[in-house]
Amino acid sequence: MYYKTPISKKIKKKLTYLFSKIFLRLIDKFFNTTLEELIRRKVLNLHSQNYNIIDNLYYFIHVPKTGGTTLHHFLQSNLKKKLFNFNHPYSYNFYTHYPLKRNHHFKKSNNYLTIIRDPRFRVYSFYIDCLINKKSVFHNIAKKGLKNFCEKCWEAQNLYTKYYSGNFDYLNVNTLDVAKANLSKFFFILDFDNLSDDIQNLSQILNFDNDEFVTRNKKNYNLPVNKDLKIIETYNNYDIMLYNHIKKIN
């Protein structure tokens, strides 16, 4: 069932975008900050952990730049109401990036899914997108180079560890262990590099009635050079360890 957008929510959203675009973007441009993203995230509850855990549903934990939009549409088509809607009851909002809660309570009746991608290429892809897209809230910091982007953009710093541990404040080895433990409870972890095959396997496990599924073509961005990889690795050491751990056990 789809619900109409409340007038108050529409106004709140428009005012937030207008204020951030006119005033905060100028501040970010001159002071190399990310106030526009911060205000939008807080006001519009983006990347929120404020959601209920309901029995007998599938939860897709969608980390940005992992090919998750493709999988989300696939799950929506096949699972329908069995797929948890983080935006409920505002189904008009297709924002899908929601992390696990801190101290997340996994119910046995629920199934969790996610996609994991080499964090170095995830961050680089995100950087290129922000650099090209002038409307991106991170465009100005991206224009100042990859190092500046990684230093200023919180989404370019160990985002896997944050999303899967539910801890966005301070990361350490214990946080990494929590992320590993949480991922061990997931029903299915898909590999970005084999996404089409993994979706086919998932389809068979869940008995989806579809004969073929093909992922969207990946954008042909230039691959990062070794210098770029070293920069990204500096800001994503926990994510790299987490990624290597998942690749080893799956």
Per CATH, the number for 7-249 is 3.40.50
Q: Are 179 and 165 in contact (CB under 8 A)?
A: yes
What are the structure tokens assigned to 121, written together? Answer: 């290429």
SS3 30: helix
Q: Does the bond joining 119 to the residue before it have cis omega, within 30 degrees of 0?
A: no
Q: Tens digit of pLDDT per residue, the chain (250 long)?
A: 334 445 566 676 677 667 677 788 889 999 999 999 998 898 888 999 999 999 999 999 999 999 999 899 999 999 999 999 988 654 445 678 999 999 999 999 999 999 999 999 999 999 999 999 999 999 999 999 999 999 999 999 999 999 999 999 999 999 999 999 999 999 999 999 999 999 999 999 999 876 555 555 455 556 899 999 999 999 999 999 999 999 998 8
What are the structure tokens assigned to 109, written together? Answer: 């009746």
Q: Are 203 and 210 in contact (CB under 8 A)?
A: yes
Q: Are 54 and 154 in contact (CB under 8 A)?
A: no
Helix or strand holding residue 159 (H, E): helix 159-165
Q: Check the CA dihedral 40-218-125-67 and report its sign.
A: positive
pTM score, two decimals? 0.90
